[in-house]
């Protein structure tokens, strides 16, 4: 039996829709209720918190999974990224008050010691380290946009889709770090051991991606 | 409660017993085939390691300074220490050199690991005389795993030279990006980089197919067909054929996109997986390039396994002695002599010096022994079934 981990919450419906369009068993996925494990015609679906999904795959509990690019980057788990579904595309950005813009366009030394609030401490650390800047990272779990307003941080690193929340909090995008979207990933072991099955599922999902509106 | 520094572990209890049994099986197998034990220093000079390790590994080394003021790191990789040692302690005519080791390594952990230290067992064969030596090492590895009860472990075999060969017409910075995307497992990025590059069709076709070349021995034919007449996989093919002749054919998976974190591999490479765990037990491969960096000509092969991961899956994992031997009314000398007769027959036991029979039995039950014996009269109790049997 092949096990696929699916993130609950915002992206669950997109992952479930891709599975349905790919022709994989999905009858019970349309109304999972409170169930966390669903078995349908040779496939076991595990419904997990989005940030836990890479862990299930990394430890080989799940063979495949759908996970957001931001979650994958933050986890740093050794997985195989099989397909970019392009669903839920958004950007990871550094944002802050417009007055900060000049510091980002100047010498890297201008960024030294800056306080950065984020849900993604690993991405933030990698990003600013790659720029040679040592910053103070504050790990928050929500309402990141509040941090500059309340003087807790100079800027934030967060995902942005429309930018409306940023604007509502008088913040603007200072730099784009990367774009992220929903990805199909697999465990390294399953990719080696069960490649024909994995390849077939990837092919079906790839076909479904082509038909799915963005 | 006294705690250890974060990221450090004491191994004890059943796990330590299992690790010790696995280590013993491993060293016994390899030593009987001429592999000499190697006990590396925990400290390595940074200048000896730095240039030989990729940046991603360098950043995980744990740097220290000795009281003599020499910048060092705790050894993060025993192969490097072993090759440096062999390159400087043996003359060329003494090769091939075979060593085996069992020791701790220290590194800043990469996800999902959290431990700074881990136990590694491994072996290296330097200055070998042909394909037979590769097969020797892999078959001894499989035989060690079998002895530990891991008869279903699988070798995932690849070849570290294949991708660089297919990337020959690509400029170095781009080739490095493409190789990095594949080794990190980012297939969308890998294919996107290939699309953007002006690569001759012959090589592009190979590169486009590499991630799909995983499966049984037939993958070697598919791989070589892409090279139209060349035989870049002949080394791997020879290894697979010999291991199949030795009865290990069912335990090989070919993955021509396989890459290992350390950049010094330069030929057949492999990962070891157990069906009972989602993560690799370890791996290894051919590392001729590392030898040349250390000033040695020739070829070399080695592997390392995570001893704790191996032990936790091995047949030794529940390994306390099954038998508790009570001294009864015997003197320590008599009791030890009688117990010695049992251990001499290959039994493993634990002595009980409790004063009363009932307290000894109670202790045996609480501590999970399956059998209890009174050495003074030879009574044996099956604690699971609670029956008496003659000794």
pLDDT score of B375 more than 70 = yes
- Does A142 touch chain B if contact means CB atoms closer than 8 Å? no
When pLDDT is averaged across residues B88-117 and rounded to a whole number, the result is 90
B278 chain-A contacts, CB cut-off 8 A: 58-61, 187, 189-190
Return the residue matching tokens 């022994």. B369
Which of residues 87 through 106 in chain B touch A, CB cutoff 8 A?
none
Cβ contact, residue pair A83, B156, below 8 Å? no
Q: Chain A: nearest CA to B264, how far in angstroms?
A: 20
Q: How far, rounded to the nearest angstrom, does the alpha carbon of residue B345 sit from its chain's CA centroid?
A: 32
Q: Would you call B110 and A78 a contact, using CB atoms and an 8 Å cutoff?
A: yes
DSSP state of B53: S
Residue B186 and residue A188 in contact, taking contact as beta carbons nearer than 8 Å: no
Question: What average pLDDT does this structure show over B229-256?
Answer: 93
The answer to whether the CB of A153 falls within 8 A of the CB of A177 is: no
Place of tokens 């080794």: B183
CB–CB contact B278 A59 (8 Å): yes
Confidence of residue B389 (pLDDT cuts 50, 70, 90): low
Residue of B nearest to A52 (CA): B112
Contact yes or no for B118/B295 (Cβ under 8 A)? no
Mean pLDDT of B37-48: 93
- Summarize pLDDT for B118-140 with one digit per residue, the tens: 999 999 999 876 788 899 999 99
Q: Where are the domains of chain A?
A: 2-88+181-211, 90-180
pLDDT digits (tens, 9 = 90+) for B74-89: 999 898 889 888 888 8
Show which of residues 146-185 on chain B sit within 8 Å of chain A, judged by CB atoms: 154, 156, 185
Predicted confidence at residue B2, as pLDDT, reads: 82
**C-alpha gyration radius of chain A:** 19
Counting beta carbons within 10 angstroms of the beta carbon of residue B35, is it exposed (0 to 12), middle (13 to 18) or buried (19 or more)?
buried
Strand partners, A200: none
How far apart are alpha carbons A58 and B180 in whole angstroms? 19
Model confidence at B319: pLDDT above 90:
no
CA–chain centroid gap for B115, Å, is 17
pLDDT at A71 > cutoff 70: yes
DSSP assignments along chain A, one per residue:
-EEEEEE-STTHHHHHHHHHHTT---TGGG--TT-SEEEETTEEEEEE-GGGHHHHHHTTS-SEEEEEHHHHHHH----EEEEE--TT-EEEEEEE-GGGHHHHHS-GGGGTT-EEEES-HHHHHHHHHHTT---EEEE-SS-TTHHHHTTS-SEEEEEESSSHHHHHTT-EEEEEEEEE-EEEEE-HHHHHHSHHHHHHHHHHHHHHHHHS--
**Alpha-carbon distances, residue A10 vs A13, A16, A54, B273 (angstroms):** 7, 11, 17, 35
DSSP annotation string for B279-302: S--EEEEE-HHHHHHTT--S-EEE
A130, A67, A123: which is closest to A94 by C-alpha? A123
pLDDT band at A107 (very low <50, low <70, confident <90, very high): confident
A-chain residues within 8 Å CB-CB of B212?
195, 199
Chain A, residues 187-206, CB within 8 A of chain B, namely 187-193, 195-196, 199
List the B97-106 sheet strands across, edge first: B36-37, B97-106, B117-126, B300-306, B282-286, B268-273, B154-159, B252-255, B214-215
Q: What is the ipTM, given to two decimal places?
A: 0.87
The domains spanning A2-88+181-211 and A90-180 adopt the same CATH topology: yes
Record: contact B186-A81, CB cut-off 8 A? yes
The percentage of residues in chain B with a pLDDT greater than 90, rounded to a whole number, is 69
Decide if pLDDT at B391 tops 50. Answer: no
Asked whether the predicted pLDDT for residue B158 surpasses 70, the reply is yes
Domain A90-180 has CATH 3.40.190.10: yes
Distance from A84 to chain B by nearest Cα, in Å?
A: 6
Residue from B278, B280, B313 whose CB has the most chain A CBs within 10 Å, to mutate: B278
**Is the sign of the CA dihedral A125, A131, A136, A137 positive or negative?**
negative
Mutant choice from B111, B192, B253, B312 vs A, greatest count of A C-beta within 10 A: B111
Dihedrals φ, ψ of B352, to 5°?
A: -120, 120
- What is the model's pLDDT at position A132? 87
pLDDT in tens, A165-179: 999 999 999 999 999
Structural domains of chain B, with CATH:
13-150+275-313 (3.30.930.10), 323-390 (3.40.50.800)
How big is chain A, counted in residues? 214
Residue B390 has pLDDT above 70, yes or no: no
Q: Which of A80-84, B84-88, B176-180, B363-367 has the highest mean pLDDT?
A: A80-84
- Cα dihedral A66→A72→A75→A80 (10° resolution): 80
How many angstroms separate the CA atoms of A142 and B241, rounded?
57
Work out the angle between the directed axes of helices B234-245 and B131-147 (0-180°, nearest 10).
40
Min Cα–Cα distance to chain B from A199, Å? 8
CB–CB contact B278 A78 (8 Å): no
| Rg of chain B over all Cα atoms, to the nearest angstrom | 26
Q: How many CB atoms lie within 10 A of CB A154?
A: 20
CB atoms within 10 A of CB B28: 11
Query: B348 in the Ramachandran plot: left (φ > 0), alpha (ψ -120 to 50) or beta?
Result: beta
Mean pLDDT of B145-154: 96
B321 and B300 Cβ atoms separated by less than 8 Å:
no
pLDDT tens-place string over residues B53-64: 888 888 899 999
Best probe of the A interface among B59, B183, B186, B211, by most A CBs < 10 A, is B186
For the stretch A134-187, pLDDT in tens is 999 999 999 999 999 999 999 999 999 999 999 999 999 999 999 999 999 999
For residue B367 the two structure tokens come to: 């501590």
Q: Does A79 touch chain B (CB under 8 A)?
A: yes
Question: How far is Cα B368 from Cα B362, in angstroms, rounded to an integer?
Answer: 10
* 3-state secondary structure (DSSP) of residue B304: strand
Is the model more confident about B216 or about B322? B216
- What's the token pair of residue B29? 């197998």
Domain A2-88+181-211 indexed as CATH 3.40.190.10 = yes
- Looking at per-residue pLDDT, the higher value among B347 and B272 belongs to B272
CA-CA-CA-CA torsion sign (B87, B90, B91, B92): negative
Question: Best of A187, A195, A203, A209 to disrupt the B interface by mutation (most B CBs within 10 Å)?
Answer: A195
Chain A's closest residue to B259, CA to CA, is A188
Give percent above pLDDT 70 in chain B: 96
Upstream peptide bond of A144 is cis (omega within 30 degrees of 0): no
- Strands B117-126 and B97-106, sheet pairing: antiparallel
Q: Specify the range with the lowest mean pLDDT, choosing from A5-9, A124-128, B113-117, B383-387.
A: B383-387
Average of per-residue pLDDT values in chain B: 91
A191 contacts B214? CB cut-off 8 A: yes
User: For residue B253, which residues of chain A lie inside 8 Å, CB to CB?
Assistant: 192-193
Specify the pLDDT at position A189. 94
Interacting residues of B146 by C-beta distance below 8 A, sequence separation 6+: none
What is the nearest CA distance from B215 to chain A, expressed in angstroms?
A: 7
H-assigned helices in B51-186? 55-58, 78-89, 131-147, 162-166, 172-183
What's the confidence (pLDDT) of residue B260?
77
Mean pLDDT for the stretch of residues B257-263? 79
Query: Is the CB of B344 inside 8 Å of chain A's CB atoms?
Result: no
pTM: 0.87
Within 8 A by CB and 6+ apart from A46, the residues are A3, A4, A5, A6, A36, A37, A56, A61, A62
Q: Which segments within chain B are labelled E, that is strand?
A: 36-37, 43-45, 63-65, 71-74, 97-106, 117-126, 154-159, 214-215, 252-255, 268-273, 282-286, 300-306, 323-326, 349-352, 371-374, 379-382, 387-390
* Residue B141, pLDDT above cutoff 80: yes
pLDDT at A205: 96
Which tokens belong to B57? 């590994």
Cβ-defined contact of B214 to A61 (cutoff 8 Å): no
Mutate to test the interface with B, among A189, A198, A201 (most CBs of B within 10 A): A189
Positive/negative CA dihedral, B239, B303, B210, A88: positive
Cβ neighbours of residue A186 under 8 Å, at least 6 residues apart?
A: A57, A63, A64, A65, A79, A80, A82, A198
Q: Please tell me what DSSP assigns to residue B106.
A: E
Q: Is the pLDDT of residue B321 over 70?
A: no
A59: closest chain B residue by CA: B278
With CB atoms and an 8 Å threshold, state whether A55 touches B112: yes
């Amino acid at each position: 039996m092949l096990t696929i981990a699916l993130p609950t919450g915002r992206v669950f419906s997109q992952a479930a829709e891709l599975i349905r369009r790919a022709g994989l068993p999905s009858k019970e996925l349309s109304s999972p209720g409170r169930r966390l494990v669903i078995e349908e015609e040779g496939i076991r679906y595990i419904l997990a918190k989005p940030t836990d999904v890479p862990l299930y795959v990394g430890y080989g509990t799940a063979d495949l999974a759908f996970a957001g690019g931001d979650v994958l980057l933050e986890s740093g788990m050794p997985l195989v990224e099989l397909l970019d579904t392009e669903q839920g595309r958004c950007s990871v950005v550094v944002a802050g008050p417009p007055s900060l813009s000049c510091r980002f366009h100047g010498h890297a030394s201008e960024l030294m010691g800056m306080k950065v609030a984020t849900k993604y401490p690993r991405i933030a650390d990698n990003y600013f380290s790659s720029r040679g800047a040592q910053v103070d990272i504050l790990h928050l779990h929500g309402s990141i946009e509040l941090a500059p307003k309340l003087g807790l941080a100079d800027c934030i690193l967060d995902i942005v889709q429309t930018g409306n929340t940023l604007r509502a909090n008088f913040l603007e995008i200072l730099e784009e770090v990367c774009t992220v979207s929903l990805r199909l990933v697999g465990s390294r072991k399953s990719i080696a051991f069960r490649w024909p099955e994995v390849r077939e599922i990837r092919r079906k999902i790839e076909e479904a991606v082509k038909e799915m509106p963005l | 409660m006294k705690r250890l520094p974060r990221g450090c572990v004491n191994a004890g209890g059943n796990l330590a017993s299992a690790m010790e049994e696995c280590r013993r099986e491993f060293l016994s197998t390899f030593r009987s085939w001429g592999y000499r034990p190697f006990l590396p220093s925990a400290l390595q000079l940074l200048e000896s390691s730095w240039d030989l390790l990729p940046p991603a590994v360098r950043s995980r080394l744990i740097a220290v300074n000795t009281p003599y003021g020499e910048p060092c790191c705790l050894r993060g990789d025993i192969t490097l220490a072993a090759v440096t040692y062999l390159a400087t302690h043996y003359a060329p005519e003494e090769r091939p050199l075979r060593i085996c080791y069992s020791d701790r390594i220290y590194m800043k952990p990469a996800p999902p690991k959290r431990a700074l230290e881990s136990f590694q067992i491994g072996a290296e064969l330097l200055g070998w005389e042909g394909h037979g030596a590769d097969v020797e090492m892999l078959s001894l590895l499989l035989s060690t795993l079998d002895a530990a009860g891991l008869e279903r472990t699988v070798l995932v075999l690849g070849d570290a030279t294949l991708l660089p060969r297919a990337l020959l017409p690509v400029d170095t910075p781009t080739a490095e990006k493409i190789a990095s995307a594949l080794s990190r497992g980012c297939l969308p990025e890998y294919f996107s980089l290939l699309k953007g590059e002006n690569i001759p069709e012959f090589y592009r076709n190979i590169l486009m197919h590499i991630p799909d070349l995983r499966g049984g021995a037939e993958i070697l034919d598919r791989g070589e067909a892409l090279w139209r007449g060349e035989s870049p996989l002949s080394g791997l093919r020879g290894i697979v054929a010999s291991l199949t002749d030795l009865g290990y054919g069912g335990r090989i998976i070919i993955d021509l996109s396989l890459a290992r974190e350390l950049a010094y591999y330069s030929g057949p490479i492999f990962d070891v997986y157990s069906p009972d765990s989602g993560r690799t037990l370890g791996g290894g491969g051919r590392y001729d390039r590392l030898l040349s960096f250390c000033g040695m000509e020739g070829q070399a092969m080695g592997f390392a396994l995570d001893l704790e991961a191996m032990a936790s899956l091995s047949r030794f994992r529940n390994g306390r002695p099954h038998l508790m031997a009570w001294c009864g009314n015997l003197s320590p000398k008599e009791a030890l002599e009688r117990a010695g007769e049992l251990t001499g027959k290959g039994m493993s036991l634990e002595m009980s010096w409790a004063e009363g029979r009932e307290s000894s039995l109670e202790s045996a039950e609480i501590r999970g022994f399956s059998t209890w014996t009174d050495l003074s009269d030879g009574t044996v109790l099956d604690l699971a079934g609670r029956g008496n049997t003659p000794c």
